[in-house]
């Protein structure tokens, strides 16, 4: 990307199932819709997306309408469905793109080439895989940051975005904040981080210990010193922060943190 000031737009802020989540009639699902988490990085007339969600066609259409840009490339974080399911929008049945650069790890590429219908995107040259490496700058000024997560299918990355006057860290999914990641969050100008669950009480139909995202209630304590530089995203539909009128939302904002909102520009 150029040395121009980048525009960073939150194009989605929900966990992979979206809000409303299919089959759910909870307060959040009935009243506070959110698209699945992704990020658009705009540089003049060009845009790069981090993650292509099942909501991608709506997200990209809105970005084009609001900013009059074209898609230059896509970066992927990991192989959980909500973060890459929109890839099929690039296939013959949809956009039918030609050699769209898609940045991913070696393990992610192996996963795609071993599974249809995604392998067809590569053989048909709808997408052009570009391999990322931990800590190595890429064509568009995004630095992959390896993080720990439930890596059933491939490894997981966040991205450090190098803008002209600030450094922005995007970590929508991880199991915990390592000492290295903690230091990075302390040092950058803005961090958009995993806020999937507020605490351990909100999920009643699954063993929440098997879903080891950091809890927002704990992250607020951990990052209290840099609260004004932290935004929580990737909210599960059960998360009370989805409700902007709730006590949890009010307390978080009062402490100086922010909740990601669809279409907000950072």
Q: Which of 147, 7, 21 is nearest to 82 (CA)?
A: 21
Q: Looking at residue 208, what is its pLDDT?
A: 66
Q: Looking at residue 32, what is its pLDDT?
A: 98
DSSP secondary structure of 62-87:
HHHHHH--EEEEEE---SSHHHHGGG
Please identify, in words, the CATH class of the domain defined by 7-259. alpha beta
Q: What percent of the chain has pLDDT over 70?
A: 96
| Segment 43-62, tens digit of pLDDT | 999 999 999 999 999 999 99
| Segment 1-35, tens digit of pLDDT | 554 689 999 999 999 999 999 999 999 999 999 99
Q: Looking at residue 164, what is its pLDDT?
A: 84
Question: Domain spans of the chain?
Answer: 7-259
Q: How many other C-beta atoms can be found within 10 angstroms of the C-beta atom of residue 127?
A: 22
Q: Is it the case that residue 145 has pLDDT exceeding 60?
A: yes
DSSP secondary structure of 121-158:
HHHTTSEEEEE--TT---TTSEEEEEE----SSS-EEE
The predicted model scores a pTM of: 0.96
The token pair that represents 137 in the structure block:
């700058």
Q: Is it the case that residue 204 has pLDDT exceeding 80?
A: no
């Amino acid at each position: 990307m150029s040395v121009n000031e980048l525009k960073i737009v939150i194009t989605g802020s929900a966990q992979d199932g979206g809000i409303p989540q299919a089959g759910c009639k909870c307060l959040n699902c009935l009243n506070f819709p959110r698209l699945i988490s992704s990020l658009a990085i705009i540089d003049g007339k060009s845009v790069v997306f981090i993650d292509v969600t099942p909501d991608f066609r709506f997200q990209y259409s809105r970005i084009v309408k609001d900013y009059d840009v074209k898609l230059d490339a896509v970066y992927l974080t990991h192989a959980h469905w909500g973060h890459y399911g929109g890839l099929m929008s690039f296939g013959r049945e949809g956009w039918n793109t030609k050699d769209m650069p898609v940045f991913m790890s070696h393990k992610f590429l192996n996963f795609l080439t071993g599974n249809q219908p995604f392998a067809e995107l590569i053989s048909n040259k709808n997408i052009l895989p570009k391999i990322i490496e931990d800590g190595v700058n890429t064509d568009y000024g995004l630095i992959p940051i390896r993080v720990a997560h439930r890596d059933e299918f491939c490894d997981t990355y966040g991205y450090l975005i190098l803008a002209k006057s600030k450094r922005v860290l995007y970590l929508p999914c991880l199991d915990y904040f390592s000492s290295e990641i903690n230091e990075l969050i302390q040092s950058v100008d803005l961090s958009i981080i995993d806020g999937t669950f507020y605490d351990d009480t909100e999920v009643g139909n699954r063993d929440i210990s098997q879903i080891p995202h950091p809890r927002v209630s704990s992250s607020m304590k951990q990052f209290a010193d840099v609260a004004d530089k932290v935004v929580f995203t990737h909210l599960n539909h059960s998360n009370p922060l989805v409700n902007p009128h709730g006590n949890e939302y009010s307390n978080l904002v009062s402490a100086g943190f922010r909740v990601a909102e669809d279409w907000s520009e950072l």
